[in-house]
């Protein structure tokens, strides 16, 4: 979701910064600090919350990331661009992906997706934060269904229905391709620290119950059921890739070949 929502809320300076510029993607093995230490405080807090929740509830192991995609640096007309990827896997999840990105002092991004293994009939957790010079401009979190009728499993429906709903003042409209999201999808622009805290609490609730329910879920034993889950996950990824704004930003920054590889290898890959 990350650049998908970045482009709906991007500060005016960023499109001007991107147009006509070319950045080179290069790994930087000598880096000593995470980019999150320079990002908006809510992004730092959410990144830490996600990793802490994973560590508490899931049996994490390393996920193999191509060496040149784990940490990427570029330049957009003199502004330093950094992309940092953290990936894990568990018995239930094929890939847990946390991406942090920063463009100079103008734009901070957090992108997170949890891709279940096709053998588990689980929704896809996703969360994104976008911060410009004016603060957080977009905050989204969801547990997206992958079954044919686009509904969540009953245990998820019941658990999510019990969560307290905070009265956020600025809810945002989902993009045209947003049919993949559930009725519980939270997409807002927080207006103050209280709303930022409420968003963080809501995401933590989504994430915690997802990890707990996933841990209690048994793998499917029917090939046809596994095949249906694969189709649902593929549809989710293809819908995410429909946003050509994401691709255009990556192409203008790194070139079309690199953008295609990053889109299909890091952001929205799926098991065919």
Percent of the chain with pLDDT over 90: 66
The pairing of strands 124-132 and 107-116 is: antiparallel
| pLDDT tens digits, one per residue of 87-107 | 999 999 999 999 999 988 888
Buried b (16+ CB within 10 A) or exposed e, 172-183: bebbeebebbbe
272 belongs to a structural domain: no
Greatest mean pLDDT range, 71-75, 112-116, 256-260:
112-116
pLDDT, tens digit (0-9, with 9 covering 90-100), for 133-174: 899 999 999 999 998 888 999 999 999 999 998 999 999 998
Report percent pLDDT > 70 for the chain: 86
Share the mean pLDDT of the chain.
86
Q: What is the pTM of this model?
A: 0.87
pLDDT of residue 76: 67
Give residue-wise pLDDT tens across range 215-227: 999 999 999 999 9
CATH code for the domain of 73 = 3.40.1500.20
For 4-24, write each residue's pLDDT tens digit: 444 444 443 333 322 323 334
Task: List strand residue ranges (DSSP E) for 117-260, in order.
Answer: 124-132, 135-144, 186-188
Confidence at 28, pLDDT banded by 50, 70, 90: very low
Task: Give just the sign of the alpha carbon dihedral 193, 199, 201, 204.
Answer: negative
- Of 70-84, 133-147, 182-196, 224-238, the range with the lowest mean pLDDT is 70-84
Residue 242 located in a structural domain = yes
Structural domains in the chain (count): 1
Structure tokens at 3: 């650049």
Asked if residue 74 has pLDDT above 60, the reply is yes
> What is the span of the domain harbouring residue 224?
2-267
Residue 134 lies in a domain: yes
Give me the pLDDT at residue 32, please.
47
**Cα-based distances in Å from 180 to 40, 187, 208, 230:** 28, 14, 21, 14
């Amino acid at each position: 979701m990350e650049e998908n929502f970045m482009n709906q809320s991007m500060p005016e300076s960023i499109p001007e910064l991107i147009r006509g510029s070319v950045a080179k993607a290069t790994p930087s093995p000598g880096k000593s600090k995470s980019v999150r230490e320079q990002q908006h405080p809510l992004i730092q807090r959410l990144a830490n919350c996600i990793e802490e929740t994973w560590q508490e509830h899931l049996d994490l192991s390393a996920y193999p990331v191509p060496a040149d995609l784990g940490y990427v640096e570029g330049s957009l007309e003199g502004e330093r661009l950094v992309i940092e990827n953290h990936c894990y896997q568990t018995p239930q999840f094929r890939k847990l992906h946390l991406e942090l990105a920063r463009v100079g002092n103008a734009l901070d991004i957090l992108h997170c997706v949890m891709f279940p293994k096709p053998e588990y009939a689980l929704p896809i957790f996703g969360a994104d934060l976008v911060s410009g010079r004016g603060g957080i401009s977009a905050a989204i979190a969801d547990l997206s269904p992958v079954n044919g009728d686009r509904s969540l499993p009953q245990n998820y429906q019941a658990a999510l229905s019990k969560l307290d709903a905070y009265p956020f003042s600025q809810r945002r409209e989902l993009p045209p391709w947003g049919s993949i999201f559930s009725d519980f999808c939270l997409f807002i622009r927080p207006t103050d620290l209280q709303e930022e805290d409420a968003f963080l609490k809501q995401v933590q609730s989504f994430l915690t119950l997802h990890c707990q329910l996933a841990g209690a879920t048994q793998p499917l034993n029917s090939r046809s059921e596994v095949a249906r889950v694969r189709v649902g996950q593929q549809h989710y990824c293809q819908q995410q890739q429909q946003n050509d704004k994401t691709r255009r930003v990556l192409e203008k920054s790194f070139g079309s070949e690199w953008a295609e590889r990053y889109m299909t290898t890091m952001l929205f890959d799926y098991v065919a």
